[in-house]
Structure 1
Amino acid sequence: MALKVYGISKSTCTTRVLTCLGEKGVEFELVPVNMSVGEHKQPAFISKNPFGQIPALEDGELTLFESRAITRYIATKHKDQGTDLLKLDDLKESAAVNAWLEAEAHHYNPAISPIVYQRMVIPVFYNGTPDEKIIEAHVEKLNKVLDVYEEKLSKTKYLAGDFFSLADLHHLPYTFYLMQTPEAKLIESRPHVKAWWEDISSRPAFKKVAEGMK
């Protein structure tokens, strides 16, 4: 029985999971969650994710939430299938993947997500005006993070080494939306970061998922 992902195709956290499933070649069913009517806050969904946020995963008797936990689970369970995303058979490579997974979660995501929220979510879903002060503050933070990335990517093709991993994959959803904003220049102005982005965003698994993000 195919596993189920509860979420929506435009959600960054949902698409993080869908891209991982694509890289691993795992069959799944995407079960839409109607957030406009608050379906994600109803008891049926809360039983899957107690925080009332998408996505949630059902794999047999296992129910799991938090997109980064879900992708690690998928990549571990199916480690011998599809793309090797965690390098579990090599301690040093696996450690490098884990380090950059943490960097994405604790440095990259907190800097980029408010920019995307202001540019893409506020105008589209709330008919509001982006707060330029919030954007400016987080552009400053993202600049500092991307300077570190530029230095690292001048030495290796991908973040954890010369191999694509879950660490790279986790950057895809938010960066995809950033590239549709004026702040795309933060990526485009750094040659190694730009080359990395063009590489990882052209992978078939993400290109398929990205069709649903437009």
Structure 2
Amino acid sequence: MKLYTNPASRGQIVSWYLHELGVQAEEVILDFKAGEHKAPGYTDKFPFGLVPSIEDGDLRLFESGAILLYLAERFPEASGVTTTEQRALAAQWVLFANATLAPVMFIESVRDTTLPKVFSPLDKVLADREYLEGGKFSVADLAVGAYLTYMPMFLPQVDLSPWPNVVAYINRISERPSFKATSGSPEVTNMAKEMAEKRAAAAAAKE
């Protein structure tokens, strides 16, 4: 299996899940500044030039959510996703992460009004459980947790105190060795800090 990624992409999430599953994959780091993701050698395989992507035998797959779901089914013993119900619940949370959670976090113009509408019910969901489904860490937690763990890195100015269960969940996820080795590595966290500082400086310049 081959993973095409870049530290500034959601490829870190795929790396994290591969680490959780105990699956070895060849990582190809694409240089965004050099435009390697737009070069013919890459777009011949992945026409949209999107990163991350994977090759597994004859399969070529892009979009991080699709890759996570594929890996969960590809390695059922490690993922615990073995039934139709489990596959549906995994898809539910992966789609929630990408379609519902991400926009309320990163669309600044509506964040103040929309964040509570998502974080408040999520806080209730997490009130009586450590993980989202099945009593143990799963692809659902990786998809949702990947965005939530961005909060301290990219959005340190957002007050999460109204949602203590979400905060506890973020802390719990962040302590996983696989997270620390990938999405929570010093390389990624330092890059996130730099991006947050640049974003704050740009916002201040507009005022």
How do 1:44-123 and structure 2 match up within 5 A? 44-81=41-78, 83-84=79-80, 87-89=81-83, 91-114=84-107
Which of 138, 152, 159 is the equivalent residue of 1:185?
159
Deviations 1:106-160 (A, max 9, x none): 210121233xxxxxxxxxxxxxxxxxxxx25223212211011011111322223
Judge conservation of contact 2:52–2:62 (CA < 8 Å) in 1. Answer: yes
TM-score, with length taken from structure 1:
0.78
TM-score, with length taken from structure 2:
0.80
Please give the alpha-carbon distance, in whole angstroms, between the structure 2 residues aligned to 1:6 and 1:92. Answer: 30
The answer to whether 1:155 aligns with 2:128 is yes
Q: Which amino acid aligns with 1:166?
A: V
5+ residue gaps, structure 2 = 190-207
Please give the alpha-carbon distance, in whole angstroms, between the structure 2 residues aligned to 1:14 and 1:153. Answer: 26
Please give the alpha-carbon distance, in whole angstroms, between the structure 2 residues aligned to 1:47 and 1:172. Answer: 33
Deviation of 1:202 (Å):
1.3
3-state SS in 2 of match to 1:192 = helix
Please give the alpha-carbon distance, in whole angstroms, between the structure 1 residues aligned to 2:30 and 2:134. Answer: 37
Deviation of 1:68 (Å):
0.8
Alpha-carbon distance change, 10 to 202 in structure 1, aligned in 2, over 3 angstroms: farther
2:12 match:
15
Identity %, equivalent residues: 32
How do 1:171-182 and structure 2 match up within 5 A? 171-180=144-153, 181-182=155-156
Instruction: Give the alignment's Cα RMSD to 1 decimal.
Output: 2.0
Q: Which amino acid aligns with 1:182?
A: P
Please give the alpha-carbon distance, in whole angstroms, between the structure 2 residues aligned to 1:166 and 1:8. Answer: 21
5+ residue gaps, structure 1 = 115-134
Deviation of 1:23 (Å):
0.8
The answer to whether 1:213 aligns with 2:188 is yes
